[in-house]
Structure 1
């Protein structure tokens, strides 16, 4: 990690400039942010995401019901790309016209996705519905919610560390520009007399 390279400027040195000390402070602050703030931020975000996702999973598991649907006929056409299932899962699904009975006893029918590779009339398959019998997606399970929360926490920690390192780099870049500007000013003052005998005596 490049933030550590600035720490050597802490030592006592007669050639140490004010910008060297400022660069060392920037390195130390960035290191502390990466070591402390990033994990704490990741933990806080992950915990908040876990609570929200587990609550959502419980609500979905309570509100969604698995019913048995019957195929009327297969419908042609491509499956929707917006389907949240991975491509491998979409390949084993078919778009069909089906009918089913909702949890409230209502009779429903319509186009749905069936977990059947080659559906035929009369085939049965599981279909998730809301309490009124409308087709809906599979409820979020607890393990998936935990995985998403862990990824959110990890992403937040990495983002915090990246922001700390970016802030350090921007600070160092500005310090280097200031250092070069001072060198230019010093050379401008010394330039007319440079190389002349007896100058400055």
Structure 2
């Protein structure tokens, strides 16, 4: 609002310089771009990211399978207290040697992280595998994908806003430098005797 008021005030002001009006117009254009282009870019980027991430969610859910594994024995090492692929609360996981049946019917055995605080032989737990029965990470959660898409859109909007503001500041900085250079030339033309009696000024 101050930009529009400034433009209106400068319209017929006798002290107005061309650079003053240009600076006000630059500020108004930057304000409009931040208000329109930044949200539009953010929504487009967010929508594109949402489509891509949700497609990945569907592909991962199709390619990965939740199977039941059985603990053979506990392996060395302290329990792991994180689950980076989960949007839910952190879970305690223990390293165990386990058996499981692959989606293709083959029997598998190997070291895995079990969602058990204190695993014992014969305990059952679930693991994600690919189509061949190899251990895989949990498929991307739809809510997590949406969160990433929203953050991508917000980041794009902020980036556009920051870029517009940086360009505006660069333009104003160059205008101010040019103005100062003009003042320096004017002072040089006036000479060192400006304002003294008898110098004709």
The offset of 1:164, in angstroms, is 0.9
Residues 74-119 of structure 1: CA distance to partner in whole angstroms, max 9, x if unpaired? 2233659895458x625x1122221111110111111211111122
Q: CA RMSD in A?
A: 2.5
The offset of 1:123, in angstroms, is 1.3
Residues 153-193 of structure 1: CA distance to partner in whole angstroms, max 9, x if unpaired? 11111111111111111111111111111111111222322
Q: Which residue of 2 aligns with 1:124?
A: 124
Distance 1:194 1:77, change over 3 A: farther
Confirm or deny that 1:97 pairs with 2:97. Answer: yes
Contact kept? 1:9, 1:20, Cα under 8 Å: no
Q: Which residue of 1 aligns with 2:40?
A: 40
Q: Which deviates further from its counterpart, 151-160 or 9-18?
A: 9-18
Contact kept? 2:81, 2:93, Cα under 8 Å: no
Confirm or deny that 1:144 pairs with 2:141. Answer: no
Q: Which residue of 1 aligns with 2:184?
A: 184
Contact kept? 2:86, 2:141, Cα under 8 Å: no
Moved over 4 A (4+): 3-7, 78-86
Contiguous gaps of at least 5 residues in structure 2: none
Report SS of the residue matched to 1:195: coil
Residues 18-77 of structure 1: CA distance to partner in whole angstroms, max 9, x if unpaired? 221221121011111111100110110011001101111011111111000111222233
Report SS of the residue matched to 1:133: coil
Taking the aligned partners of 2:22 and 2:129, their CA distance within structure 1 comes to: 62
The offset of 1:200, in angstroms, is 3.6
Superposition pairs of residues 1-201 of structure 1, within 5 angstroms: 4=2, 8-10=6-8, 11-12=10-11, 13-77=13-77, 79=80, 83-85=84-86, 89=90, 92-200=92-200
TM-score w.r.t. length of structure 1: 0.88
Contact kept? 2:7, 2:25, Cα under 8 Å: no
Report SS of the residue matched to 2:191: helix
Report SS of the residue matched to 1:183: helix
